Structure 1
Amino acid sequence: MGIKVSEESINEELAINERPIVLSSSSFGILRKQLVRNIGMERIGSFLFHFGWEMGIKDAEKAKDEGLSLEELIKKGPLLHIESGHIRGIVHDCDVKHDESGNVLSVFGRGVWKDSYEAIEHKKMLGISRKPVCHTLIGYSSGFMSTAFGEPLLAKEITCIGAGDAECRWIVRTEKEWAEEAQTDLPMYNETSIVEELEYTYDQLLEQKNIITRLADFQQKLTEEVLNGNTMQEIADIVYEIGRIPVVIVGLDFRTAIYSGLSEREHEELKLDLEQHLEKQEMPYLKSDKGNQLPSIKNKVIKTAVQERLITPVLVQKEVLGYCSFVYRGDREPHAEDYLFLNRCANAASIILLNEKTKFESFERMKGNFLEHILTGKFDAGEIIRRGQYTNVNLEEPYHITVVNYESPETSLEESFIFQEQLLETAFRYFHDNGQNILVGNHDGSLALLITEEKNERTSISVEIEKFHEFIKRKYPQAIFRFGISNTGRAIENAPNHWEEAKIALRFARKKEIVLFQSLGIIGVLINTQNTEGIKMIAHQELGAMYDTKDPKKAEQLKTLYIFLMNAGKLEQTMSDLALSMSGLRHRIDKIENILGKNLRDPNEGYQLLMILKCLIALGELTIE
């Protein structure tokens, strides 16, 4: 079935330009919802305000063409507003003051809109708002009153049903009066149009695109230079050449510095100014084993009277190794994009330092492996000295072997291994930074050091080790370190023997954390003769049944005997060291004397027993914790 309709209709009475268009209030609610969806809640206020503003101007101009007075215009405006269907009723009061010449001094209009279509439709379509929503109504009132008075008047909604209030209440005043009251939350009368805002956004996007392009070129250039093996100074020169901003790359102590874009004199003056500023401001430093540092946060700005510095840390494997900064003087100030370029510069510096760190640690580990071969006696003297030339360590000089034992808080095997690696790397860096070229490695589960005596006058080996001990105690405060130091070695092929000396000395590191083999006196001589069987035979003879270190009870008796003899028979000190009561200690001493059949207070008996116990400790037969 087909239907065909052909008809032509026209209402000649309707005007072409000003004919009314009938729309329900819900149609405007739909329009409002679509505007929110497309341009956002914040933007529709300005859009609808200007929409209402133009309608108000049109109606006011028509009314003025009728020759109405100002008072009649003020009264007619609300009536036209009702006729438009925007509201169903209004309460309106308006006070106007003129000067003697008839000029308007002030306007104070106020009232209530009854059943605002905007408030009703906003609640229906979008829910309760955080602020008044009758944007078209205040635009209409502002446009009508401004046209009627011939100067800008602005309406402001005080309360609104769309915001959950009981009524839509408003005020109209001149723009000048609002300004005098320092009102900043007026309607969007002077807000940027959407087109202007889009133009501004486009300009910003274009600027951001240019910045990203420059940043990408900058990053590529730095990457190429780093891959080409360029030095830190060459990188700094390239950064300055591209950005024309003076750049400074410093170490943690702010003493060693690489800079570009500054003369030597300028750099020294700015460095002094920065140091004085930091001292004056009492800025919070981070204490480290290398001295004072700035906090390791990115993009810190330090401003003095003569300079401004944008600073970011140079990080290598989560450790701060230095700082990279841009320097600004005079009227020049940092731009937002400078942070991006500075971070790229710091990244390039980090890669260079990581490469240097990797090469340094690889070389030191190679030296550590060489040390392990020396201590196991795998090479003869000639081979050791020949290979030692590749390590830059003169192994023909006298030397000491030091063994370092450590107890770390780490419990798992993985954590212990990580700590061992960290300690090894710390030792590498410490002696390198102090200008000492030594051999460092792991051997028999302990840290081993081979330190040669230089021809120049230096401090003793014990002082050097004490300094190193203090350093690692600060760096690893939870760990306990003990050191054993060998006698001076004259021939490198005897290094395994001196390693044994260092281990023997380590066994006596109880109250003293650093023990020299030389301090053991006659004990060292006895052990060094390799007369171990004779020592064990004497121990069996003098200690009798107590000489069974695998029996916990007897091992405890030997420990008690050793502490008692080391304290020269002083009961109070021994009681404190062993955490025993006086009666318990006396009982234990009496029992030991009965087992041994000896008087422990006899100097000769006590000295002989103490010598035997020390020899057992040196041999590793007895452990005193």
Structure 2
Amino acid sequence: MENNKTFHSSDIIFSSEGFGLLRKTLYENIGEKRAKILLLQFGYKLGREKALELKQYYSDKKELIRWAPLTHINLGHVSKVETNGSSILNENGEIIFIDSIGKWFDSFEADLHTHYHGESNTSACHILSGYASGYLSEIYEIDIYVVEQSCKAMGYPHCTFEVNTKKQWLQINPLILNEFDHQTVAEELEITYDKLLGQKLLLDKVTNYHSQLTECVAKKNSLLHVLTTAYNILNIPIIIKQTNDKTIALQGIDLTTYTNLLEQEPKAVTISKHNETIFEKLGEIYKMTTPIYLDNKVFATCSFLYENPQSLDENDYLFLERLSTVCALCFLKEKISFETTERLKISILDRLIYMKHESEEEFKTHFRLLTDKMEEPYASLVIRCNNKKDTYLPIDYYDQLLQFSQIFKLHYLNALFSISNQDIYVLFSTSTHQNIEEPLLKILNQMQKNNPDLHYTIGVSHPFTQLELFSEHLKQAKQAVSLPRNKSISYYSELGLLGDFLNNIDTETLKKTASTQLKDLLIPEPKMQELLYTLYIYLINGKRLERTMQALNLSMGGIQYRIRKIEETIQINLKDSYTTAYLLLLIEALIIMKEIEF
């Protein structure tokens, strides 16, 4: 026999106290916020079901509206309902509520809340609000929300509410819709599951990424190998650039394509920031960039490039910042290796300077272990670093040496470096460059860009072929760099007679001769130094008063006055060309010997 069962709706007796306990249990188990939403949705469905039930008996909308407060009372929700306001149709045929407010008297839900939870800080009649909203929404066939404004559970004598359409609430207070349109617990759990699954997949990807990059570091792989590993995992083009905007490395994109993408130099528009990572739009492409630190300074930048914004993941900064750290370790390894090699070169060159080697062949044997490209002819260089006139910062000469050594390598120039008395000494192989001025000027320009607060000058000796002559030619470079000329590079050959003069005269004799000829001008007093400098400028400008006036920024009368004071002090007539040539030779010799400084 077939057993057919049909469900019939029936009333279940459920005391208000039992409902209060159920409500309290919801608050305790799922929290006040979710309990409120659940009760609101429960009431909404009850109201809608009641409206559908009454529609079976009444077709007139006004009659159904009249039943709205009566259903509240008949079900025991409240003892009385008062309503005010009206509703009209706008020009689009949409219903609009005007000042539709009302009161609920003796709300059962407010009483239950006060009994089980005490006085509330917010409205507590969630079922009543939901019930009224569901009932009216079904009757009018649009979304209508009844929002409680004040509640008996908050200490008010009655509960008050306001009625508006969803569209009206969007204009009045959009946040209210979050409670009515909130997803169900099942939907929320599904979203939470999807998020947790996404986080797990992200964690697995991050773990694998970190593991492979850490392995690269442990195996001391090159920067290129690190970038290749990262690109194979992420499939995002990677760019490493120095702070001077010079490209160090690319992966996943070739230099031509990258250059073409940026050839119009689009203005960067910042979209977001996270820590020091910046995400920006450049024309049609997107770029995420983070700094690479070395010795607590920004050494370079690491960037991800996106031609298609849909390929962007908001978590990519995690991978970029990790890659930046690993790149910093690669650069640090290269720096340590480079500095170790440079220290060996310094040690070898110092032995040559101070003649601590047995023979030239022994010296060549030592530095062939470091480089096999140091071939004759050679030149001795002296590089001098000074602060510009408006800056007085301490100079790290060892750091300057390393910078010069690195830039020499970039220009394929072979050289050994050392430091002594704040000068950088260089043994320079000129075998591959007959004209050395052009590459030296490029090097100075690059150093000037990297160190804008410093001024550089280079002295160059005569060329030589025997390494044992390095120290002798080093003196020539020192003399060349010491001469105050408005040139970045000075050659010993430009000294002419002065160079031979210094090489063939006793320094003490020279000092006595200068003291006899220049007299009080050598006294270290500001006025005498001013006159001595005026004499020097006057002589190197061929005794032309106008050029001297321009060089010293003085009037013609001021120059003439100083010339007379100089002649009175040294008791020499400066119109005598032989005498003035001799004086210029003496002054420049003292400058080169660092007996006087301007």
> Which bracket does the TM-score occupy, shorter chain normalised?
0.7 to 0.9
Query: Using the alignment, how far apart are the partners of 2:248 and 2:552 within structure 1?
Result: 52
- Asked if 2 retains the 8 angstrom alpha-carbon contact of 1:87 and 1:113, the reply is no
- Asked if 1 retains the 8 angstrom alpha-carbon contact of 2:482 and 2:594, the reply is yes
Quick one: which of 364, 367, 372 aligns to 2:342?
A: 364
Aligned-pair CA distance for 1:217? 2.6
Query: Using the alignment, how far apart are the partners of 1:556 and 1:304 within structure 2?
Result: 58
Number of the residue aligned with 2:371: 392
> Quick one: which amino acid aligns to residue 361 of structure 1?
E
> 1:40-66: per-residue Cα shift (whole Å, max 9, x none)?
65x565334224325535766887899
Aligned-pair CA distance for 1:523? 0.6
Report the 3-state secondary structure (helix = DSSP H, G, I; strand = E; otherwise coil) of the residue aligned with 2:394: helix
Query: Using the alignment, how far apart are the partners of 1:614 and 1:385 within structure 2?
Result: 37
1:617 aligns with 2:591: yes
Number of the residue aligned with 1:202: 193
Q: Kindly tell me: are residues 17 and 354 of structure 1, through their superposed partners in 2, closer, same or farther at Cα, counting changes over 3 Å?
A: same
- Asked if 1 retains the 8 angstrom alpha-carbon contact of 2:239 and 2:251, the reply is yes
Q: Kindly tell me: are residues 239 and 556 of structure 1, through their superposed partners in 2, closer, same or farther at Cα, counting changes over 3 Å?
A: closer
Quick one: which of 431, 436, 439 aligns to 2:408?
A: 431
Query: Using the alignment, how far apart are the partners of 1:470 and 1:240 within structure 2?
Result: 35
Query: Using the alignment, how far apart are the partners of 2:167 and 2:579 within structure 1?
Result: 110
Q: Kindly tell me: are residues 577 and 348 of structure 1, through their superposed partners in 2, closer, same or farther at Cα, counting changes over 3 Å?
A: same
- Asked if 2 retains the 8 angstrom alpha-carbon contact of 1:300 and 1:311, the reply is yes
Query: Using the alignment, how far apart are the partners of 2:473 and 2:265 within structure 1?
Result: 53
Q: Kindly tell me: are residues 471 and 187 of structure 1, through their superposed partners in 2, closer, same or farther at Cα, counting changes over 3 Å?
A: closer
Quick one: which of 33, 41, 46 aligns to 1:50?
A: 41
Aligned-pair CA distance for 1:453? 0.8
Query: Using the alignment, how far apart are the partners of 1:133 and 1:521 within structure 2?
Result: 102
Where do residues 65-464 of structure 1 align in structure 2 (5 Å cutoff)?
Answer: 71-81=62-72, 84=76, 89-92=81-84, 110-113=100-103, 135-146=126-137, 149=139, 153-157=143-147, 168=160, 170-171=162-163, 186=177, 188-243=179-234, 245=235, 247-248=237-238, 257=249, 259=251, 268=254, 272-280=256-264, 282-283=266-267, 298=277, 300=279, 311-312=288-289, 315-317=292-294, 318-321=297-300, 323=302, 325=304, 333-379=311-357, 380-392=359-371, 394-395=373-374, 397-408=376-387, 416-417=394-395, 419-454=396-431, 456-460=432-436, 462-464=437-439
Report the 3-state secondary structure (helix = DSSP H, G, I; strand = E; otherwise coil) of the residue aligned with 2:369: helix
Q: Kindly tell me: are residues 17 and 68 of structure 1, through their superposed partners in 2, closer, same or farther at Cα, counting changes over 3 Å?
A: farther
Aligned-pair CA distance for 1:614? 1.7
Q: Kindly tell me: are residues 441 and 311 of structure 1, through their superposed partners in 2, closer, same or farther at Cα, counting changes over 3 Å?
A: farther
> Quick one: which amino acid aligns to residue 541 of structure 2?
N
Report the 3-state secondary structure (helix = DSSP H, G, I; strand = E; otherwise coil) of the residue aligned with 2:197: helix
Aligned-pair CA distance for 1:381? 2.8
> Quick one: which amino acid aligns to residue 231 of structure 1?
S
Quick one: which of 454, 477, 491 aligns to 2:452?
A: 477
Aligned-pair CA distance for 1:469? 1.8
Number of the residue aligned with 2:5: none
- Asked if 2 retains the 8 angstrom alpha-carbon contact of 1:146 and 1:154, the reply is yes
Q: Kindly tell me: are residues 517 and 56 of structure 1, through their superposed partners in 2, closer, same or farther at Cα, counting changes over 3 Å?
A: same
Report the 3-state secondary structure (helix = DSSP H, G, I; strand = E; otherwise coil) of the residue aligned with 1:222: helix
Aligned-pair CA distance for 1:193? 1.9
Report the 3-state secondary structure (helix = DSSP H, G, I; strand = E; otherwise coil) of the residue aligned with 1:416: coil
Q: Kindly tell me: are residues 303 and 483 of structure 1, through their superposed partners in 2, closer, same or farther at Cα, counting changes over 3 Å?
A: closer
Aligned-pair CA distance for 1:20? 4.1
Number of the residue aligned with 1:468: 443
> 1:66-110: per-residue Cα shift (whole Å, max 9, x none)?
98976444223224546756586422466699xxxxxx9969693
1:597 aligns with 2:587: no
Query: Using the alignment, how far apart are the partners of 2:566 and 2:96 within structure 1?
Result: 111
1:526 aligns with 2:526: no
Q: Kindly tell me: are residues 496 and 552 of structure 1, through their superposed partners in 2, closer, same or farther at Cα, counting changes over 3 Å?
A: farther
> Quick one: which amino acid aligns to residue 525 of structure 1?
D
Aligned-pair CA distance for 1:519? 0.9
> 1:371-419: per-residue Cα shift (whole Å, max 9, x none)?
2332233334333222221231655512222222222379999x625x4
Query: Using the alignment, how far apart are the partners of 1:451 and 1:541 within structure 2?
Result: 40
> 1:99-152: per-residue Cα shift (whole Å, max 9, x none)?
xxxxx9969693333679799999x9665x8xx9875443121233356x3956
> Quick one: which amino acid aligns to residue 76 of structure 1?
W
User: Is 587-596 or 104-113 further displaced after alignment?
Assistant: 104-113
Where do residues 555-594 of structure 1 align in structure 2 (5 Å cutoff)?
Answer: 555-580=529-554, 582-594=556-568
Query: Using the alignment, how far apart are the partners of 2:325 and 2:195 within structure 1?
Result: 27
- Asked if 2 retains the 8 angstrom alpha-carbon contact of 1:119 and 1:160, the reply is no
Where do residues 518-557 of structure 1 align in structure 2 (5 Å cutoff)?
Answer: 518-543=493-518, 545-546=519-520, 548-557=522-531
Q: Kindly tell me: are residues 524 and 177 of structure 1, through their superposed partners in 2, closer, same or farther at Cα, counting changes over 3 Å?
A: closer
> Quick one: which amino acid aligns to residue 170 of structure 1?
E
Query: Using the alignment, how far apart are the partners of 2:52 and 2:374 within structure 1?
Result: 106
Aligned-pair CA distance for 1:241? 4.8
Question: Unaligned stretches of 5+ in structure 2?
Answer: 1-10, 270-274
Query: Using the alignment, how far apart are the partners of 1:489 and 1:471 within structure 2?
Result: 27
Query: Using the alignment, how far apart are the partners of 1:40 and 1:144 within structure 2?
Result: 25
Query: Using the alignment, how far apart are the partners of 2:265 and 2:555 within structure 1?
Result: 56
Report the 3-state secondary structure (helix = DSSP H, G, I; strand = E; otherwise coil) of the residue aligned with 1:230: coil
Report the 3-state secondary structure (helix = DSSP H, G, I; strand = E; otherwise coil) of the residue aligned with 1:436: coil
The count of corresponding residues between Structure 1 and Structure 2 is 564
- Asked if 1 retains the 8 angstrom alpha-carbon contact of 2:418 and 2:426, the reply is yes
Question: Unaligned stretches of 5+ in structure 1?
Answer: 1-14, 98-103, 261-266, 286-295
- Asked if 2 retains the 8 angstrom alpha-carbon contact of 1:402 and 1:485, the reply is yes
Q: Kindly tell me: are residues 466 and 196 of structure 1, through their superposed partners in 2, closer, same or farther at Cα, counting changes over 3 Å?
A: same
Query: Using the alignment, how far apart are the partners of 2:265 and 2:276 within structure 1?
Result: 18
Q: Kindly tell me: are residues 105 and 612 of structure 1, through their superposed partners in 2, closer, same or farther at Cα, counting changes over 3 Å?
A: closer
> Quick one: which amino acid aligns to residue 49 of structure 1?
L
Number of the residue aligned with 1:5: none
Number of the residue aligned with 1:288: none
Query: Using the alignment, how far apart are the partners of 1:92 and 1:432 within structure 2?
Result: 88
Number of the residue aligned with 1:4: none
Query: Using the alignment, how far apart are the partners of 2:538 and 2:17 within structure 1?
Result: 113
Q: Kindly tell me: are residues 299 and 95 of structure 1, through their superposed partners in 2, closer, same or farther at Cα, counting changes over 3 Å?
A: closer
- Asked if 2 retains the 8 angstrom alpha-carbon contact of 1:142 and 1:172, the reply is no
Query: Using the alignment, how far apart are the partners of 1:156 and 1:323 within structure 2?
Result: 55
Query: Using the alignment, how far apart are the partners of 2:110 and 2:484 within structure 1?
Result: 86
Identity percentage of aligned residues: 24
Report the 3-state secondary structure (helix = DSSP H, G, I; strand = E; otherwise coil) of the residue aligned with 2:206: helix
Q: Kindly tell me: are residues 187 and 562 of structure 1, through their superposed partners in 2, closer, same or farther at Cα, counting changes over 3 Å?
A: closer
Report the 3-state secondary structure (helix = DSSP H, G, I; strand = E; otherwise coil) of the residue aligned with 2:380: strand
Query: Using the alignment, how far apart are the partners of 1:598 and 1:215 within structure 2?
Result: 84
- Asked if 1 retains the 8 angstrom alpha-carbon contact of 2:267 and 2:282, the reply is no
Query: Using the alignment, how far apart are the partners of 1:37 and 1:22 within structure 2?
Result: 16
- Asked if 1 retains the 8 angstrom alpha-carbon contact of 2:413 and 2:429, the reply is no
Query: Using the alignment, how far apart are the partners of 1:277 and 1:608 within structure 2?
Result: 64
